Amino acid sequence: MNHVDPELDRPSEECGVIGISTPGSDAAQNAFFGLYALQHRGQEAAGIAVADGQAVRVHKDMGLVSQVFESGTLDPLVGGLAIGHTRYSTTGANSERNVQPYVVETMHGPLGIAHNGNLVNADHLREQLLQRGAGLSSSSDSEVLALMLAATEGDSWEHRLSKVMGEWRGAFSLVVLCGTKVIGCRDPWGFRPLSIGRMPNGGHALASETGALRTLGCDNIREIEPGEIVVLQGQMARSFQGVAPAERQARCTFEQIYFSRPDAIWDDLSVHQVRQRLGAAVAREHPVDADMVMPVPDSSMPAAIGYAAAAGITYNEGFVKNRYIGRTFIEPTDELRRQGVALKFNTLNDNIAGKRVVMVDDSIVRGTTSGPLVRLVREAGALEVHVRITCPPIAHPCFFGVDMGTHEELIAHHLSVEEIRDHIGADSLGFLSVPSLMGALEREDGYCNACFTGDYPVPVQLQLPTTSKRRFDGVLV
């Protein structure tokens, strides 16, 4: 068996963004701690750009936030305005030229931009820029946003932003830095999150998640509305509607299921409480006689608690996760490679042995890790292993900034639930239905569920697989 990284069978969020306006000169330090709180949203690269009223300085590189910003690297980043970015690559390859923030010189002065999301019309916009003679240095759609904004006429950056936003189709939560202000905006569909809070010193901060704002000591935290533009300047913050909200709102359901930290508040909902309700919902929808409920840590822990409470079954931990393994250039030996997920997970055998176990997880994407996890639980002595997933089957790719994989790579696009159950070796398998998912969110609509349903809120160019057959873990299916 090939070595399997459990994180590769998870949807991957593109990035996290932060924006700071503070009366002092320590905006870079605040941006660093804000990004540190957003590290889970991207582990490939990080960067911070700072303005002091005139110049814009940037430091960015490949690696984790704590690796990119070592002792002394923040010292040159002096100023009271900052934006930051931590990246997971979706559009654009994972390379140094795609690391954000982007900083460009314009006729109106220096401009920095950091972007969370993905434009579905990026190729068309890139072609228009090339025809006008623009020089593109990366393959990321975020650079397209920066150059379009730089080329737009208007009497202020926020005015230019409001003019160009109508040309962008898809997901974009932006933080923009110029010499004298930080600007934030959110797409009219509301795909990706962005919130604002007031800092203890009287300044303001923007962040992809409310938990990062709380890390900075912010109060008066609220969500930026779809289509809204917020301008931070000194201790002042003002906002206006840049474009009208889309008639069909499309918040990403996976922010609630998996991406956001459990301490986040989004759409006026506690993510932790939502995940408990998701677990309770799948317990009601797919009941089973069992002795123990265990999560696949860490994101599924609230859901497993909710499942256990609703089912009246004992909750206990069955996995111990190595949270520090990260990515390494040291290849495991053949023996370790054969152990697969044991590099990241060990089992608590005394908790599992002799029991009928319900293993709760948040998703199955490519189908590469659920089977090895089930085998680990069986090897620990479980009599039965029942898998419960707190979202519907992921059968369609995402075009709005989440790496779900292609149609060809998604196991639920090719196999039925019973075939997936057989493939992973579980005694039973239950996915949450879309109605039950929305019930747990206590919403009738307003969310994007396209990865489950194939109903995209913005028209996309589908690239359907050339064959309905592919190999999963070396097995032709």
Question: Is 428:274 a contact under the CB 8 Å cutoff?
Answer: no
Q: Read off the pLDDT of residues 360-389 as tens digits, 9 standing for 90 and up.
A: 999 999 988 899 999 999 999 999 999 999
Find where tokens 């998703």 sit. 363
Question: Is 414:266 a contact under the CB 8 Å cutoff?
Answer: no
238 & 368 share domain = no
DSSP string, 61-95: EES-HHHHS-TTTTTT--BSEEEEEEE--SSS-SS
**Angle separating helix axes 417-424 and 370-379, nearest 10 degrees:** 50
Q: How many domains does the chain have?
A: 2
Helix (H), strand (E) at residue 334: helix 334-339
Q: Is residue 418 part of a domain?
A: yes
**pLDDT (average), residues 41-51:** 93
- Better pLDDT: 336 or 224: 224
Find where tokens 């490939």 sit. 44
Any idea what the CATH number is for the domain that residue 310 is in?
3.40.50.2020
**Angle separating helix axes 434-441 and 271-285, nearest 10 degrees:** 140
Mean predicted lDDT score pLDDT of the chain: 88
- Model pLDDT, residue 98: 79
3-state secondary structure of 437: helix
228 & 352 share domain = no
Q: Read off the pLDDT of residues 259-275 as tens digits, 9 standing for 90 and up.
A: 999 999 999 999 999 99
Relative to beta strand 219-223, strand 228-233 is: unpaired
Short-list 147, 113, 102, CA closest to 127: 147
Distance CA 378, CA 247 (A): 49
**Does residue 471 register a pLDDT over 60?**
no
**Does residue 238 register a pLDDT over 90?**
yes
Q: Read off the pLDDT of residues 328-350 as tens digits, 9 standing for 90 and up.
A: 445 556 555 555 566 788 999 99
The percent of residues above 70 in pLDDT, for the chain, comes to 86
Q: Is residue 1 part of a domain?
A: no
Contacts of 253 (CB under 8 A, 6+ apart): 391, 437, 441, 447, 448, 449, 452
Distance CA 393, CA 270 (A): 24
- Model pLDDT, residue 412: 96
156 & 276 share domain = no
228 & 306 share domain = no
- Better pLDDT: 1 or 263: 263
Annotated active-site residue in 15, 178, 391, 451 = 15
- Model pLDDT, residue 91: 45
- Better pLDDT: 141 or 271: 271
95 & 206 share domain = yes
468 & 331 share domain = yes
Distance CA 85, CA 102 (A): 10
Active site residue 451: no
Find where tokens 């430091």 sit. 59
241 & 339 share domain = no
393 & 461 share domain = yes
Q: Is residue 124 part of a domain?
A: yes
Token pair in block for residue 436: 């039950």
219 & 293 share domain = no
44 & 132 share domain = yes
Output the pTM of the full model. Answer: 0.89
Short-list 183, 349, 333, 191, CA closest to 259: 191
Any idea what the CATH number is for the domain that residue 110 is in?
3.60.20.10
Q: Is residue 170 part of a domain?
A: yes
242 & 275 share domain = no
Q: Work out the angle at residue 147's Cα, subtended by the Cα atoms of residues 145 and 148, and round it to the nearest 5 degrees.
A: 65
Domain range holding 103?
Answer: 7-247
Q: Is residue 262 part of a domain?
A: no
DSSP string, 11-41: -EE-EEEEEEE-SSSBHHHHHHHHHHHTGGG
241 & 275 share domain = no
**pLDDT (average), residues 19-30:** 92
Q: Is residue 396 part of a domain?
A: yes
Residues 401-415 as b/e (b if ≥16 CB within 10 A, e otherwise) read bbbbbebbbbbbbbb
**pLDDT (average), residues 347-363:** 97
Question: Is 219:198 a contact under the CB 8 Å cutoff?
Answer: yes
Q: Is residue 255 part of a domain?
A: no
Q: Read off the pLDDT of residues 303-333 as tens digits, 9 standing for 90 and up.
A: 999 999 999 999 999 999 877 655 444 555 6
Q: Is residue 264 part of a domain?
A: no
Helix (H), strand (E) at residue 309: helix 301-311
Give whole-number Cα distances, 141 to 103, 127, 199, 325, in Å. Answer: 14, 12, 31, 31
Of 213, 247, 281, at which residue does a domain stop?
247
Of 232, 247, 262, at which residue does a domain stop?
247
